[in-house]
A and B are shown apart, each in its own frame.
Chain A
Amino acid sequence: MSQTQAFSDDFFSAMLPEMLLFVGLIALIIIPNLGKGTFRIPGTQIRLPWFLGGQRFALTSNPRLPAWIATITLAGAFAAVADSLNGGVDALTVVSSSTDSAKELLEVNGFSRVFELIFFGALALASFSSMNRLKVEGTGGKLSEDQLYNNRRQADFYILMLTCGLGMSVVALAQDLFVLFIGLELASFSTYVLVAFMKESKAGSEAGMKYFIVGSVASGVGLYGLSMLYLWAGSLQFSVLAEAFAVSGTEALPLIGIGFVLVGFGFKVSAAPFHFAAPDAYAGASSPVAGVLATASKAMGMVGLIRMLLIVAAPESSEGSAVWLVCIGALAALTMTWGNIAALGSTNPKRMLAYSSVAHAGYMLAGLTAVGAWTWDPSFAGKEGEAALLVMTALLFHMLVLVAFKLGAFLVLSILESDGDSSRLSSLGGLAKREPLLAFAMFIFMISLAGVPPMAGFLSKLMVIMGIVNVGVGAGATSLGELHWVWWLALLMVLNSAISVFYYLRVAVVMFFEDPEEGREGALPSGWQVRTSIFICVVATIMLGVFGDSVLEMCRTAAESLTTKW
């Protein structure tokens, strides 16, 4: 593993995606302001054009321009990540100085790259489809002040999209809890505003406010935990903390500290009982933003959990099992069951998807429990790490494919939102008659979420179950009593999948069977961008389910690079 310092050559080549985002961000701030502005040299009549301000050019005054800049930037970052994953990632650690006491700040490896793929993919699709979601009030010269202000919002929205991406990738790269926290807050604050950005309904600002308050409380609790960990170990470096945990991790102070930190991340992955703000936030946000919350933001929370639990709070020796195992196991069981049961009763499709996202968080937590159990449960002491690797691969793959169908489902709702409303199940009514291909896409997303083969959702859920069972079976359990308790999490997971079929199918039934609402029989609002995004999601959902082998291999390499311990 090579090391480098910030702003060296290696740093720039490894951080290409982040640099692209940075450039895009600057461009997004400057370009929409370019105009015929001139600068008069004092004392003369010579006016030098300096392009800032003044009458804007036709191109730069186009309200669609920020969307294009953001989309191209994010897509470019996505391509850069994909390209570097394609050739096998050389791990590179960014350190603070060249001395021995240098602190590790960021680390680029396959693991963080896969997460960047998830973040940028989701954000690129969301910003591309937001072009049809955020209304543009006229283009051209003569616009009222209100219209101009409204068009200005476009730039703000996409700037937040980019900062969100930047923050998320910092979380994935961080090797220091403090750096991680900065990234987390950058991304969180962007999402708080993005949620409140929907001005069409009052629900938007309420949702943003609620999300902000609950989120900042969660962050505050997490920060408090961080301070405890710092007090205890004297550093927030992962490596230092991990060593300290290995020696005296069962002391009260670090345990309380890590408990608090878990609350912070638990909110981000919307694990029960920290999920209460999520349904409101999703329902109030515009659909593409809600899609980002359900995929990229959740993946960001998972990175935090994985780092904290598997790297930091894991005892080196196999003597004491990691204390958090039972905790997370119980949390997983609670989260998936609560999410599914709450989704059964929700009649707002966005709230339903929010609860389904809670349920998916439960599945991921169950996978995380299995990794922990395999690595640190005393009953598996001395076993090789293949089983844990399989679960980790499954988790990465699950988060990756989730972008395709979960975001896709939100994008379909986004079109309905532009049509007027998507807050009732009946707003989906007659979709099959209004636009058959869209109904087909929604159906694919729903059955993929439910885990029906041959969609990607089935393969990923199967992988997670397989990984958990692998740990549960251990090596040579021959009776039910000899199975490790995580096997029961797998059973709970399949039963929950069965429950979830009900509310996913209900959507299909409404789309294909019921008539459209009064006055909504006509064609849906046009917009090729969002439809292109949905098309990409459908293709990815099917292709990753049927020909996902190479992506699986990629996730495996990524999982291997998380730590060499397995």
Chain B
Amino acid sequence: MQLVGFPVVAGIVLLAFVANAKKSAHEKLNNPIRMASFAFSLALFGYTTWMFFEVFASIDLDNGIIFNDYKLYDSYEWFPALGIHWTVGLDALSFPMVWLTTFLLPVTIIATWHEKNGATYFPTLLLMGGALIGVFVSLDLFMFYVFWELTLIPMFFLILNWGGKDRKYASQKFFIYTFTASVVMLLGLVTLYLMQPDQIGTGGKYGTMTGRTFDIPTLVEAATNANMDGWYMGESMQKVLFVMLMLGFLVKLPAVPFHTWLPDAHVQAPTGGSMLLAGVMLKMGAYGMFRLPLSMFPHALQHFQMALMIFGMVSLVWGAIVCLGQTNLKKMVAYSSVSHMGVILIGIATMQPMGWAAALFMMFAHGIISPMLFAVCGAFKHHYHSMEIGAMRGMAKHSPWLATSMMFAWMASLGLPLLAGFVAELMMLIALWYFIDLEGWSVLWMIGPALVLALTAAYYLWSMQRTIFEGGDETQPPASLHGDPVPDITNEEKLAMLILAAFTILFGILPWIGLDMMDSYCRQFFDTMISNGIFKGGA
């Protein structure tokens, strides 16, 4: 499909072009390559936006989005011997993520317009985008895994080549940590694949050599349409596979205690890398959960509901507490991501359509807000040469643009009403109430989220106080500037901030643009499960 192929091919062509050029010519190439990458990414963004209006906006949501039904579906043979196909398609789960990726690519390019070695940097961003889109559009387990791992390579180089001081350590830790979890997931996928009954000779989706298929819709259909007895997998095996797959996704998400790679990767990554990492790559984990284990192992999901809830609560609270102690701006933002990912897990664990929709919308909203957080951090680092919270004081006076952007991003992240993040958090809280009510759990479960609302406000407001407002009167530029005049952010950075802010407001005021689709998907999923007798009826 052109969505994947386009950025990848464009990135490779541009990289090959640069590799061929003499070293001295690289400087000269920066601008044309940047423009070309930008044009490519804009074209992609235009394409997905067109797709929204053409395909998804016209769906009658009340009965239009059907679970396990895909728009723009395409399938070609890849390894017929093993039942591997190049199968792509979009549904309400993947389309918002694809749109988000294509939206963030041009914004990232704008925000990091002056990145050094642009001739190789911008094509790498394109490759990254292509691999991410590949993860979201894949409807074949093999293809999914291939793109899943493929995203590691451009990110590894983004951190390694453009990262901070400890980039060597951070990039290796990032790669090894997530790769380890992924190979366990791979073994789970392979076991799932081979658990299917042998259909050798059937041809079509089934491999001519193995008699099994990697086709996700087929697997999901088999899993959801059958009760426990009718399926090829016993309940205990389902639990084992659920754990193996979830391990891969929880590390990527990341949930406490698997989150330790994230702060290192973020702090060392360049701004563009962080924006994509936080904006889209973390969502791969949540997306993968929805696409595979949650859809395929509903029994195991019910079994591990409590565990997921605990993971979610711990991530939420732990992330927020750790944030309070950070003196490094970027690290604080990274831990706040961990905290927000806890919201997603709690939303899933409520097992309510609304909770799931909250999780999906959180993925989307956080995908717009967190790039803005990191763009602010990047600008801060770029202009003040330090990430320490105390390094700059009285920013409101020195750099009003950056101060305003920071305030806006911080507010959006802490869940100010009318901004995108608020919608998701509110929905999660409502779903949690429903859940507690339904299950008869103690109201004490609400303490976690309530506590975190306070903590989030605390660490964001405190850090703003220390950087933006305090000490403004002294008009004393930070020591890290060595007496240079205090700059404000560049025009490109301003533009990126404005775009991100605009969309944060847009999806805060009119969340239904994306939310309706997600809500319809979740309701459809739960209806299917209930009518198949797998879930008991819920709210």
Cβ–Cβ < 8 Å partners of A195 in chain B:
none
CA distance A497 to B146 in the complex (A): 16
Q: Which of B210-267 contact A (CB under 8 A)?
A: 210-211, 232-234, 236-237, 240
Whether B19 contacts A386 by the Cβ 8 Å rule is: no
Whether A453 contacts B146 by the Cβ 8 Å rule is: yes
Of A55-63, A134-142, A464-472, the one with at least 4 CB within 8 A of chain B = A464-472
A176-217 contact mask (Cβ, 8 Å, vs B): 1 or 0: 000000000000000000000000000000000000000000
Known: A462-B190, A465-B186. A498 touches B180 (CB 8 A): yes
Known: A386-B198, A556-B81. A509 touches B172 (CB 8 A): yes
Cβ–Cβ < 8 Å partners of A436 in chain B:
19
Known: A452-B152, A552-B79, A552-B81. A494 touches B210 (CB 8 A): no
Q: How far is the CB of A499 from chain B (nearest CB, A)?
A: 8
Whether B200 contacts A494 by the Cβ 8 Å rule is: no
Of B153-161, B338-346, B495-503, the one with at least 4 CB within 8 A of chain A = B153-161
Known: A390-B209, A470-B210. A501 touches B194 (CB 8 A): no
Cβ–Cβ < 8 Å partners of B236 in chain A:
478-480
Cβ–Cβ < 8 Å partners of A473 in chain B:
191, 194-195
Q: Which of B174-194 contact A (CB under 8 A)?
A: 175-176, 179-180, 183-184, 186-187, 190-191, 193-194
A-side interface residues, number (CB < 8 Å): 47
Known: A462-B190, A509-B160. A453 touches B81 (CB 8 A): no
Whether A502 contacts B150 by the Cβ 8 Å rule is: no
Whether B153 contacts A495 by the Cβ 8 Å rule is: no
CA distance A463 to B145 in the complex (A): 14
In this assembly, does B382 line the interface, its C-beta being within 8 Å of a C-beta of chain A? Answer: no
CA distance A553 to B79 in the complex (A): 10
In this assembly, does B149 line the interface, its C-beta being within 8 Å of a C-beta of chain A? Answer: yes
Closest residue to B84 on the A side, CB-wise?
A: A549
Q: How far is the CB of B333 from chain A (nearest CB, A)?
A: 26
In this assembly, does A437 line the interface, its C-beta being within 8 Å of a C-beta of chain B? Answer: yes
Partner of B234, one of A386, A479, A498: A479
CA distance A545 to B45 in the complex (A): 30
Whether B160 contacts A512 by the Cβ 8 Å rule is: yes
Whether B234 contacts A478 by the Cβ 8 Å rule is: yes
Q: How far is the CB of B21 from chain A (nearest CB, A)?
A: 11
In this assembly, does A477 line the interface, its C-beta being within 8 Å of a C-beta of chain B? Answer: yes
In this assembly, does B80 line the interface, its C-beta being within 8 Å of a C-beta of chain A? Answer: yes
Whether A505 contacts B176 by the Cβ 8 Å rule is: yes
Q: How far is the CB of B215 from chain A (nearest CB, A)?
A: 16
Q: How far is the CB of A556 from chain B (nearest CB, A)?
A: 6
Whether A466 contacts B161 by the Cβ 8 Å rule is: no
CA distance A386 to B161 in the complex (A): 47
In this assembly, does A490 line the interface, its C-beta being within 8 Å of a C-beta of chain B? Answer: yes
Whether A498 contacts B149 by the Cβ 8 Å rule is: no
Cβ–Cβ < 8 Å partners of A506 in chain B:
172
A440-454 contact mask (Cβ, 8 Å, vs B): 1 or 0: 100000010011111
In this assembly, does A491 line the interface, its C-beta being within 8 Å of a C-beta of chain B? Answer: yes
A381-395 contact mask (Cβ, 8 Å, vs B): 1 or 0: 000001000100100
In this assembly, does B168 line the interface, its C-beta being within 8 Å of a C-beta of chain A? Answer: yes
Cβ–Cβ < 8 Å partners of A465 in chain B:
186-187, 190
B110-126 contact mask (Cβ, 8 Å, vs A): 1 or 0: 00000000000000000
In this assembly, does B456 line the interface, its C-beta being within 8 Å of a C-beta of chain A? Answer: no
In this assembly, does A528 line the interface, its C-beta being within 8 Å of a C-beta of chain B? Answer: no
CA distance A556 to B208 in the complex (A): 11
Whether A552 contacts B209 by the Cβ 8 Å rule is: yes
In this assembly, does A149 line the interface, its C-beta being within 8 Å of a C-beta of chain B? Answer: no
Cβ–Cβ < 8 Å partners of B145 in chain A:
453
Q: How far is the CB of A53 from chain B (nearest CB, A)?
A: 51
Q: Is the interface of B mostly helix, strand, loop or mixed?
A: helix
Q: How far is the CB of A231 from chain B (nearest CB, A)?
A: 42
In this assembly, does B48 line the interface, its C-beta being within 8 Å of a C-beta of chain A? Answer: no
Whether A462 contacts B195 by the Cβ 8 Å rule is: no
Cβ–Cβ < 8 Å partners of B146 in chain A:
453-454, 458
Whether A502 contacts B191 by the Cβ 8 Å rule is: no
Whether B152 contacts A480 by the Cβ 8 Å rule is: no
Cβ–Cβ < 8 Å partners of A76 in chain B:
none
Whether B240 contacts A480 by the Cβ 8 Å rule is: yes
Closest residue to A476 on the B side, CB-wise?
A: B232
Closest residue to A463 on the B side, CB-wise?
A: B82
Cβ–Cβ < 8 Å partners of A548 in chain B:
79
CA distance A470 to B191 in the complex (A): 7
In this assembly, does A12 line the interface, its C-beta being within 8 Å of a C-beta of chain B? Answer: no
CA distance A466 to B240 in the complex (A): 17
Whether A469 contacts B194 by the Cβ 8 Å rule is: yes
B477-511 contact mask (Cβ, 8 Å, vs A): 1 or 0: 00000000000000000000000000000000000
In this assembly, does B524 line the interface, its C-beta being within 8 Å of a C-beta of chain A? Answer: no
Cβ–Cβ < 8 Å partners of B240 in chain A:
479-480
B149, B184, B194: most-surrounded residue (chain A CB, <10 A):
B194
In this assembly, does B171 line the interface, its C-beta being within 8 Å of a C-beta of chain A? Answer: yes
Whether A498 contacts B195 by the Cβ 8 Å rule is: no
CA distance A273 to B3 in the complex (A): 50
In this assembly, does A513 line the interface, its C-beta being within 8 Å of a C-beta of chain B? Answer: yes
Cβ–Cβ < 8 Å partners of B149 in chain A:
452-453, 458
CA distance A477 to B192 in the complex (A): 11
Whether A466 contacts B237 by the Cβ 8 Å rule is: no
Whether B183 contacts A466 by the Cβ 8 Å rule is: no
CA distance A502 to B195 in the complex (A): 31
Q: How far is the CB of A515 from chain B (nearest CB, A)?
A: 13
A366-397 contact mask (Cβ, 8 Å, vs B): 1 or 0: 00000000000000000000100010010000
Whether B194 contacts A498 by the Cβ 8 Å rule is: no
Whether B193 contacts A505 by the Cβ 8 Å rule is: no
Whether A390 contacts B187 by the Cβ 8 Å rule is: no
CA distance A470 to B196 in the complex (A): 10
Cβ–Cβ < 8 Å partners of A458 in chain B:
146, 149
Cβ–Cβ < 8 Å partners of A497 in chain B:
183
Whether A390 contacts B79 by the Cβ 8 Å rule is: no
Whether B160 contacts A549 by the Cβ 8 Å rule is: no
Whether B186 contacts A501 by the Cβ 8 Å rule is: no
CA distance A491 to B183 in the complex (A): 9
Known: A393-B209, A509-B160, A513-B160. A502 touches B187 (CB 8 A): no
Binding site for A on B (CB under 8 A): 19, 78-82, 145-146, 149-150, 152-153, 156-157, 160-161, 167-168, 171-172, 175-176, 179-180, 183-184, 186-187, 190-191, 193-195, 198, 200, 209-211, 232-234, 236-237, 240
The 9 residue pairs across chains A and B that have the minimum distance between CB atoms: A478-B234, A498-B180, A479-B236, A453-B146, A494-B183, A470-B194, A494-B187, A473-B194, A549-B79
Q: Pick 5 A–B contacts, CB within 8 A, sort by A.
A: A386-B200, A452-B149, A465-B186, A473-B194, A502-B172
User: 18 extra interchain contacts, Cβ-Cβ under 8 A, other than A451-B183, A452-B152, A466-B194?
Assistant: A390-B209, A390-B210, A393-B209, A440-B19, A453-B146, A462-B186, A465-B187, A476-B232, A477-B195, A480-B240, A491-B187, A498-B184, A505-B156, A505-B172, A512-B161, A513-B160, A548-B79, A553-B209
